[in-house]
Amino acid sequence: MNSHVEPPPKRGMGCFGKGCLLLLVFGILLVIVGVGGTFWSVRNVYLSDKPALTPETSPPTETGAVTPGETSAPAPSEKSAEVRERLDTMKKAARSHERTGVELTAADINALIAANRKSSGTASVGINDTALQAQVSIPLQRLDLPFRNALGLGDRYLNATVTIVAPPGTNASSVQLSEVTLNGNRIPAGLLDWQLPGIRKSLRTYVIKYANHYGVTDGEIRDGKVILYTRGH
């Protein structure tokens, strides 16, 4: 007798899955326009007609993305599954009000990026002692932006680099971007706190949302790792 077997539930893809890239790009473009930019400058100054070359994220081989002492890298799918398992364990600890910490190397973060079909090939992270730098090259053609075709942005790329320094005790409400460039142009590092025109929310609102989702209360960047903590009793 055959019995119906329910398929296993799909795992959450986190910030780099589904609509996160769309939110990031849409938010940045709205902020640029809202602080005095024009759609001409958005297209011709802050966006590019060519992708930026980002380091390979799967498996990482560059110096900045490999933890010292590692001699070989597991398959990307195995690596990302192991990282997601650690994040799930952290989330469970947060729900039980247990103080715990999770260390993420650049290789860990890049594995999560590479494992998701919507973010794979669009971003790469490197960590140098106390600073994290993310390189992003997102083809707008892959995103369903509401004004993309009307404004002729379908052939453009959002190429950006973002640097983050997080001393001990940094949380989602206090983390700052120390440097941001968009297509080689410096933009104010206070991007996280700019209010998105028409939405009346800032990008920091969504940083706090994802931190709360995993129960992260604070963190730091040191020794080439991002370390996230949950609050205990």
Structural tokens at position 90:
């952290």
List of the chain residues with pLDDT < 70: 1-27, 30-38, 55-76, 145-148, 150-151, 196-199, 233
Q: What is the pLDDT of residue 33?
A: 62
Cα 213 from Cα 210, distance rounded (Å): 5
Inter-residue contact 104 to 228 (CB < 8 Å): yes
Per DSSP, 213 falls in state H
For tokens 């320094």, name the residue.
165
Inter-residue contact 56 to 123 (CB < 8 Å): no
Cα 66 from Cα 225, distance rounded (Å): 10
Q: What is the pLDDT of residue 139?
A: 87
Give 33-100 as a DSSP string: HHTT--HHHIIIIISBSSPPP----SS--SGGGS-TT------HHHHHHHHHHHHHHHHHHHHTT---
Q: What is the pLDDT of residue 229?
A: 96
Q: What is the pLDDT of residue 13?
A: 43
Q: What is the pLDDT of residue 142?
A: 78
Global pTM reads 0.76
Cα 145 from Cα 125, distance rounded (Å): 25
